[in-house]
A = this chain, B = another copy of it.
């Protein structure tokens, strides 16, 4: 009964069900039908893990009121991965995979507790043998959190781990990361890693690797290929480019966003085209305006962040008291997600003035996401500029939020903050918007 102990183990024994059996669980007005999965020591001991017919694993809380019935005897899933001998080939580049937690870093679905999240290089090379063909793989664990629980403190920890490996001679680094906040971490690493001279690739998976539709293998192979073979000395995100499991896109870390809750091609470049694509482990660059890798260098981590920065979405009638409350709470900067070209209602003007007078920078982005803030077109924009609002060009609101934390970690001088926010530091601002970078709906009327 791998992973189960105490009360849960007793209840499972009493129901005479075993790992791999199809069972019915009735608990707290809910009924679950699925296959009983093994679980790891790390999970909550009061839960059992069930694989549902849709392929997802769920954790179900078990107590004395839970009724468990055997539906169909099954056979336990094979969990022991045949250890593949990993030969360190001196002709191959060395790629370090930094684990942070998340679906990709698991063979089952580690979030439900049914898995072995801390993988070894042998395990990962056995699970996805293609990566060992590309590079000599070393695995390092920086942290182990679901990405929704990622924090600015952990960004710094990951940045230091990345810098250490690159300065120690890795050809490239892959950061395995949950998808929820992957783009925030990618932006943070983009600003923090100074003097980067090797590829740093964030990768994740939208479906856990035990599901038939998992994107984990292709994403990981493509990410390792970019880390080992590309000359992109930037922080990138490599994820599925379609739902066909045929290629991945290489997105710039400051221009990417998770645009769908569940699709494999959820990650999209916004206001920019991807840097390149990976098909069968082969990289094809789509543009040439990127920072080139070099054989020598030294990465430094500028990890100082001002963590008290607010991201505020502007809504009709939003009162000034909201901004005053943010300033009173001690926040040192505010990024507004304004409307249209970068507007906010008059009802907010007094609050903005209040913030700027107290040396709290107010940065303007647009909730449209696509396009560029232009505050010279309409009088509202010009009024806001006069109040001291800093326009953030075509930066994504989340990226502007990360950047403001980083900029305020360097200076609190409003003029310098404004200058740095409007200066392209890590590809977050494109000077001219290409006409072909907008979205179009998949459904096109004939």
Partner-B contacts on A (CB < 8 A): 44, 56, 58-59, 111-113, 146-153, 155, 179-181, 184-185, 241, 247, 249, 258-263, 265-266, 268-269, 273-274, 277, 284, 286, 307, 310-313, 315-317, 321-322, 325, 329, 337-347, 366, 368-374, 376-380, 382, 397-398, 401, 434, 436-443, 445
Contact = CB atoms under 8 A, between A and B. Distances in A.
B445 A266 contact: no
Given A184-B316, A316-B150, A382-B59, A371 B321 contact: no
What 9 pairs across the A-B complex have the smallest Cβ distances? A261-B371, A439-B439, A148-B343, A180-B339, A180-B340, A151-B317, A260-B370, A260-B371, A273-B443
Contacts of A241: 445
A58 B377 contact: yes
A369 B151 contact: no
Contact of A317 (B112, B307, B345): B307
Contacts of A322: 310, 329
13 contacts: A56-B377, A58-B382, A111-B380, A148-B345, A180-B339, A259-B369, A260-B438, A263-B370, A263-B371, A263-B438, A311-B313, A315-B398, A315-B401
A215 to B, nearest CB: 14
A277 B340 contact: no
A380 B149 contact: yes
Contacts of A347: 149, 151
A56 B438 CA distance: 22
Nearest to A266: B368
Contacts of A378: 111-112, 146
A46 to B, nearest CB: 12
Given A273-B443, A317-B307, A442-B438, A380 B146 contact: yes
B372 A261 contact: yes
A399 to B, nearest CB: 12
B366 A261 contact: yes
